[in-house]
């Protein structure tokens, strides 16, 4: 079984810098980690490999420093890491990103057929949850989102059954392979990297693909190929300290009365 996982490098700091000209995140020099949801996708792919054999290919799109999340994925047990990187890809929105990554997936599938594609349900920096479904749509494959559990996989019948998270419930769904899943953190517990995998990750040379290797349409990538733009992006303001009421433990009735008056003045509760 060949599983492909899409991972993203995301900022691991509140000190995020923003390009005032393009309104995009400036990732160079900012401490980064593998997107937490994507880490669980890698873990699940490795578990599938342990059950059925095969291999795990991990793909990321980003600047050269994103090689670190691929090495991290290798330490988790993945076999191959591919970084899709090119200055021409800079500023791509979710539509352009899904196009670029689908081209990378096609290239991987040409080398070896793909059975299952996994990704985190969303990235913690953009929170759009659009790229995974966008890739599936471009590939013409079924997409199963918000997956909490892979119940069964039948490689012979080319079928998969999963449990999806819904608002206020869950759903059991069957689909044909190849399929794309976006997963929740609760799908598994992350395991520690083994010493042999850590050594392999340290020595691993990540494969690099740019626009020429993927044969992408220049009009569909980067800022030029992105139909949506960010009007403004900024970090949230720091939280201010809460209001303190006098009295404390010495006079709880007084504090309760002051709090009730305050909530009434702010129209948060009704005055009886």
3 state SS for the chain: CEEEEEECEEECCCCCEECCCCCCEECCCCCEEECHHHHHHHHHHHHHHHHHCCEEEEEEECCHHHHHHHHHHHHHCCCEEEEECCHHHCCCCHHHHHHHHHHHHHHHHHHCCCCEEEEECCCCCCCCCCHHHHHHHHHCCCEEEEEEEEEEEECCCCEEEEEEEECCEEEEEEEECCEEEEECHHHCCCCCCCHHHHHHHHHCCCEEECHHHHCCCHHHCCCCCCCCCCCCCCCCCCCCCCCCCCCHHHCHHHHHHHHHHHHHHCCCCCCC
pTM of the model: 0.81
pLDDT tier, 111 (very low <50, low <70, confident <90, very high otherwise): very high
Mean model confidence pLDDT for the chain: 89
Across 96-116, average pLDDT: 96
- Assess whether pLDDT exceeds 70 at residue 175: yes
Q: What is the pLDDT of residues 37-60, one digit of tens each?
A: 999 999 999 999 999 999 999 999
pLDDT (average), residues 161-183: 95
């Amino acid at each position: 079984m060949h599983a492909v996982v899409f991972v993203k490098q995301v900022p691991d700091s509140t000190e995020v810098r923003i390009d005032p000209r393009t309104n995009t995140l400036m990732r160079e020099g900012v401490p980064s980690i593998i997107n937490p949801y994507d880490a669980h996708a890698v873990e699940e792919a490795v578990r599938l490999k342990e059950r059925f054999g095969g291999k795990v290919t991990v793909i990321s799109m980003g600047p050269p420093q994103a090689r670190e999340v691929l090495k991290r994925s290798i330490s988790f047990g993945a076999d191959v890491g591919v970084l899709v990187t090119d200055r021409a890809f800079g500023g791509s929105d979710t539509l352009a990103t899904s196009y670029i990554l689908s081209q990378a997936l096609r290239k991987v599938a040409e080398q070896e057929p793909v059975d299952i594609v996994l990704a985190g349900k969303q990235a913690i920096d953009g929170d759009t949850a659009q790229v995974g479904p966008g890739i599936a749509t471009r590939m013409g494959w079924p997409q199963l989102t918000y997956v909490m559990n892979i119940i069964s996989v039948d490689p012979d019948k080319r079928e998969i059954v999963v449990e999806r998270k819904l608002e206020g419930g869950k759903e059991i769904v069957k689909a044909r392979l190849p399929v794309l899943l976006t997963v929740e953190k609760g799908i598994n517990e992350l395991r520690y990297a083994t010493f042999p995998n850590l050594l392999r990750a340290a020595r691993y040379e990540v494969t690099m693909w740019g626009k020429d290797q993927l044969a992408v349409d220049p009009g569909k990538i980067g800022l030029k190929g992105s139909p949506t733009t960010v009007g403004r992006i900024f970090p949230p303001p720091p939280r201010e300290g809460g209001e303190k009421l006098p009295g404390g433990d010495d006079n709880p009735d007084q504090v309760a009365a002051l709090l009730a008056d305050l909530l009434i003045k702010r129209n948060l509760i009704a005055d009886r």
